[in-house]
Structure 1
């Protein structure tokens, strides 16, 4: 799914033990699951299907166990994408993933851009409107459930750059490439996960 090594290193910098999963486990004995990724929506969902991850991910999220989706891992939480017609997403949230409209701006959206805080959250401790994060994407989710939007960013159009519901956090930007503020967000995610994770075993 792309950016695995940089995500692993970012969590390891926070003294977090990281285990890369090649197949779905038969237990829930992890603090959290992280789904990173870069690339096409269709390729991503087919890769998860081929290795049998979709039922596990749906069960994990349905139990409100800590989950972090990054970039493509964020987009895959929605129902479908115009990037890969016919490919169905995990479907945790209503909405589809669309391409930036034609404009004078270059697509893909690559580089640093600022965020606007729309909702207060424990995930955003130490993060404010105007802080910059690193983006690499041509598509973004049209979020139907506005109450889950934490951060908004504008590039051609305003879009939801981070969402949260319970123990689920997902970002369009790459926190692992976003230096101090990105590491702060990952730290917040780990703290939130440690405090709020339900006691679930298989």
Structure 2
């Protein structure tokens, strides 16, 4: 009887872990399918993370939000940063809230610091990695580096936002997806090069 109970508890724990991991994947996919698209200006870099594969590390340029209420002094506080599209078409943050408000375009983010004089909070956004195939990530880095050496800084992310979640859909250089740029560069070099 005791052995059966241990087996049932073990199987329940395994199922709970599997469901938790599966739910994270489902949330990400739902965000990509149902979320509204916002554009964020970025500065990409390409590191190697042995545990996570290849990705292009990105830093969102707009990482502050106004905060109207009194600040309680707590750092690393989780809040929802409400979004709006600016006149230039890029996303900007309009304010912070303790809870997600239904229908609001907001990203759950961590507050890292607060400026009392200007009532502005600095955000640690969950938009720091654009994952790519290991085969093309080095070429994507090279394409970005060559583009940025020309003096233009027009890389940006297309991010889907849904119910407080954010998922990077695509990395763009100018108005072209990075995958298109890499594919075109490979085609111009010819086969086997």
TM-score with structure 1 setting the length: 0.23
Structure with bigger gyration radius:
2
Return the structure number with greater relative CO, CA threshold 8 A, min gap 6.
2
